[in-house]
A and B are shown apart, each in its own frame.
Chain A
Amino acid sequence: MKKKNPVFSFFASVKLALFTLFLLAITSIIGTVIPQKENFDFYVRLYSEKTAQIFEVLSIPDMYNSWWFLGLLGLLSLNLIVCSFDRFPGVWRQIKADNLATPTTRLGKMRLSEKWTTKQSPEEAASTLSSKMGDSGWLTSQRKREEGTLLFAQKGAITRTGVYIVHASILTIFAGAIIGEIYGFKGSVMLPETQATSTVFAFDSGKAIDLGFTVQCNRFDIEFYDSGMPKAYKSQLTVFENDKKILDKEIVVNDPLEYKGITLYQSSYKGYQDFLLTITDKKSSVAQTVTLPFQQRTTLSNHNNASIGVINAEAMGQSITRLKIWFKDDKGPASTFWVKAGSEVTVQRPDKEFIIGGKQMYATGLQVAKDPGVWVVYIGCGMMILGLFVAFFMSHRRIWVFIRKDNEDTEIRVSGSANKNKMGFEKQFASLALTLKNN
Chain B
Amino acid sequence: MDSSQLLGVTTFTYLFSTILYAIIFIFKAKRLGSVATVFTLIAFLVQTVGLLLRWQESYTLGYGHAPLTNMYESVVFFAWTIIFLYLLIEWKFKTHVIGTFAVPFAFLAMAYASFATGISKEISPLVPALQSNWLLAHVVTCFIGYAAFAVAAGLGIMYLTKNMSSSRKTTNDESLLGTLPPLKTIDDITHKTMVFGFLWLSVGIITGAIWANSAWGTYWSWDPKETWSLITWFVYAITLHARYTRGWGGVRIAWLAIFGFVSVVFTYYGVNFLLAGLHSYGSN
Contact = CB atoms under 8 A, between A and B. Distances in A.
Do A and B associate with each other? yes
Interface of A: 14, 17-18, 21-22, 24-25, 28-29, 31-33, 35-36, 64, 177, 186, 225, 227, 229-233, 252-254, 256, 263, 265-267, 367-369, 371, 374, 377-378, 381, 384-385, 388-389, 392, 423
Contact of B199 (A233, A368, A377, A389): A389
Interface string B106-133: 0000000000000000001101110110
A33 B218 CA distance: 21
A22 B237 CA distance: 10
Contact of A36 (B199, B222, B231): B222
Contacts of B271: 32
B230 A28 contact: yes
B contact patch SS = helix
26 contacts: A14-B241, A17-B241, A18-B241, A21-B237, A22-B234, A24-B234, A25-B235, A186-B217, A227-B124, A230-B127, A252-B131, A253-B128, A253-B215, A254-B131, A254-B214, A254-B215, A256-B214, A265-B217, A368-B217, A371-B217, A377-B209, A378-B210, A381-B210, A384-B202, A384-B206, A385-B199
A381 B206 CA distance: 7
Contact of B129 (A36, A64, A254, A388): A254
Given A229-B125, A254-B132, A28 B227 contact: yes
Given A32-B227, A369-B218, A385 B206 contact: yes
A368 B228 CA distance: 26
Interface residues of B, number: 43
Nearest to B128: A253
B102 to A, nearest CB: 21
A33 B132 contact: no
B218 A186 contact: yes
A267 B230 CA distance: 25
Given A14-B241, A18-B238, A384-B206, A31 B227 contact: yes
A54 to B, nearest CB: 21
B124 to A, nearest CB: 7
A120 to B, nearest CB: 39
Interface string B178-215: 00000000001000000110110011001001100111
Contacts of A31: 222, 227
Given A253-B131, A381-B209, A388-B198, A265 B216 contact: yes
9 closest A-B pairs by beta carbon, nearest first, are A369-B217, A25-B234, A253-B128, A254-B132, A32-B224, A14-B245, A381-B206, A64-B222, A225-B125
Contact of A388 (B202, B227, B228): B202
Interface of B: 124-125, 127-129, 131-132, 134, 188, 195-196, 198-199, 202-203, 206, 209-210, 213-220, 222, 224, 227-228, 230-231, 234-235, 237-238, 241-242, 245-246, 271, 275-276
Contacts, number: 104
Given A35-B276, A64-B222, A381-B210, 14 more contacts: A22-B238, A29-B231, A31-B222, A177-B220, A233-B128, A253-B129, A254-B129, A254-B214, A254-B215, A371-B213, A377-B219, A388-B199, A392-B195, A392-B199
Given A24-B234, A25-B234, A231-B125, A32 B275 contact: yes
A438 to B, nearest CB: 28
A231 B231 contact: no
A398 to B, nearest CB: 20
Contacts of A266: 128
A227 B125 CA distance: 9
B12 to A, nearest CB: 31
Nearest to A370: B217
A423 B184 CA distance: 13
A427 to B, nearest CB: 13
Interface centre among B128, B198, B210, B215, by most chain A C-beta atoms within 10 angstroms, is: B128
Nearest to A26: B231
Given A32-B224, A384-B202, A367 B234 contact: no
Contacts of A389: 199
Nearest to A163: B244
Nearest to A13: B245
B234 A21 contact: yes
Nearest to B196: A392
B246 A14 contact: yes
Nearest to B242: A18
A188 to B, nearest CB: 10
A82 to B, nearest CB: 15
